[in-house]
A and B are shown apart, each in its own frame.
Chain A
Amino acid sequence: MKIDSIKIMGGFDKSGANEAVEEVIFKMGDIASIVGPTGCGKTTFINDIELFANGDTPSGRKLLINDLPVNADEAVSDRHDHPVALISQHTNFLSDLPVQDFLEIHGSVRQHQNIPSVVEETLEFANKLTGEPLIRESPMTELSGGQTRALLIADAVIIGNAPIILLDEIENAGIHRTRALQLLKQYEKIFIFVTHDPRIALLSDFRIVMENGGMTKIIVGDEDEKAVAKEISKLDDVLLHFRTRIRSGEQLTSHELVAHLKSLGYLT
């Protein structure tokens, strides 16, 4: 099945009222974010996508692929080329196979023709996302949190090659967020982030705001917000810099902070 777009038809929020957003369309190549406070229904929203909701989930939402309803029974029951990959907060690798061996097995399950080359591409992609390069001989269970997240994403994009990739709060896991978004943009896929991270939310093409189980609005960044996003990226870099310094056991100084803020033009 070739997917050009998916459309979600709104259902009900937790109080049973119709969702304010009647429909939302994701086109191939879109990067979208879902934002809202904890418990507002963000994870339920992406579960609806994964399950090809057809009015049969608690939210009553309906999913259309290329504007047509989906037979969830057929789509979900043939998992071998399931079009949706979900990477969540508690997703983990449990296999203690070496990274390379596991990727080869997954490559063969996905029936790739040239397995060594997709494995290489996956490892290369993962290494661009994480600060600590993966060792291909190391067991998957020994990967750090950041390496695991990086490999999960790389594997879903390249070996899994799923056209729709859902990422549930992956920002806390030590991956390069800006680089991740830049890299992901090169692949013609739909990426949907559930996120509390301003950087990911602002780098997305649009974001869906949720409250009390329902979609309340869709925000597309305008010129003014894009300018704000640039500044937020800079401030975030400052924070990242200090985080790195703290992690490497150093003490911070006000002199250093002032120097940073000056270089950004915030202090004169």
Chain B
Amino acid sequence: MKLVICAGPATTGKTSVLRHVVRRLLKKGSSPSYLKIDVLYADEQAIMEREFAIPSKTVYSGELCPDHCNVMVLGDALEWAENQKSDLLLVETAGLCLRCSPYVEGSLGFVVLEATSGMNLPRKIGPMLTLADMAVVTKIDLVSQAEREVFRARIKESAREIRVVETDALYGTGIDPLIKTISEAKEIVFPLYLRGNPPVGTCTICVGKKEIGWKQHFGVVRPLEGEIFYRGE
């Protein structure tokens, strides 16, 4: 079983990229399963089933943070994909707070970014980019060559070792290096671990205490001026 995790901000074209990926993987004789993790709404499962008839699943993270949800469900999902006789699980997930990343050690992780999102984006999204193996830049046909080059340089500045693939995901031009990397990915070996470190938990908020102001909370807190500290027993 291979595991490929695709992350990226909303509406960057993750599904468009994955449709080209699935089409080409099927052509190569691979049999992928597809898992979509989203917060409130997702219709990608229907697209994958209708277009490619591959085993597909949607998980709504709801109250959970989607990256948290990813950690929770991924083990079961790999088992599910195994039962579907798949050789590869493709996971598409929303990136939200930009402090986590969903990538897993020993698997392939790529981020989908749109060239139209502004040249500073690569500096803003943290581990979703810096811990990815590849960055797929979409919508390149809509921006100037110059901005494309600056965008690319900014990606490289944030994530020195990353491979960048630029594509017009409508037609799938330029996507082949991604397919090649997926084909060459290694089989996963359990136990699996998240690649990145999750952010420090400010847990009273996480468990649902909604009152505003650090004095209302316990655990790791921070005032506006000053560093985080531990408050409580």
Contacts and interface: CB of A to CB of B under 8 A. Distances in A.
A23 to B, nearest CB: 22
A110 B145 CA distance: 12
A152 B141 contact: no
Interface stretch (B43-51, B95-103, B170-178): B170-178
Contacts of B165: 77
A77 B150 contact: no
Contacts of A88: 141
Contacts of B20: none
Given A56-B176, A85-B145, A91-B144, A106 B164 contact: no
A51 B173 contact: yes
B200 interface: no
Interface size class of A (residues with CB under 8 A): 20 to 34
A79 B163 CA distance: 11
B119 interface: yes
A170 interface: no
Given A47-B173, A73-B177, A95-B119, A80 B144 contact: no
B146 interface: yes
B150 A155 contact: no
Interface in B127-142: 141-142
Interface residues of B, number: 25
A239 interface: no
B146 A159 contact: yes
Contacts of A85: 145
A11 to B, nearest CB: 15
A91 B145 contact: yes
Contacts of A160: 145-146, 149
Contacts of A79: 148-149, 152, 164, 166
Contacts of A80: 149, 152-153, 156
B198 interface: no
A247 interface: no
A227 interface: no
Given A80-B152, A160-B146, A94 B118 contact: yes
B145 A95 contact: no
A28 interface: no
B87 interface: no
A156 B146 contact: yes
B143 interface: yes
A86 interface: yes
B118 A95 contact: yes
Nearest to B167: A51
A25 interface: no
B187 interface: no
Nearest to B166: A79
Interface in A152-179: 152, 155-156, 159-160, 162
A77 B177 contact: yes
Contacts of A155: 144-146
Interface in A86-105: 86-88, 90-95, 102-103, 105
Contacts of A72: 176
A152 B144 CA distance: 7
A168 to B, nearest CB: 10
A14 to B, nearest CB: 15
Greatest chain A CB density within 10 A among B144, B149, B152, B176 is at B144
A243 B166 CA distance: 40
Closest 6 CB pairs of A and B: A109-B153, A85-B145, A106-B146, A79-B152, A155-B146, A93-B144
19 contacts: A57-B173, A76-B166, A76-B174, A77-B163, A77-B177, A80-B149, A90-B142, A91-B141, A91-B143, A92-B143, A93-B143, A93-B144, A94-B118, A95-B118, A105-B119, A105-B150, A109-B149, A110-B149, A152-B145
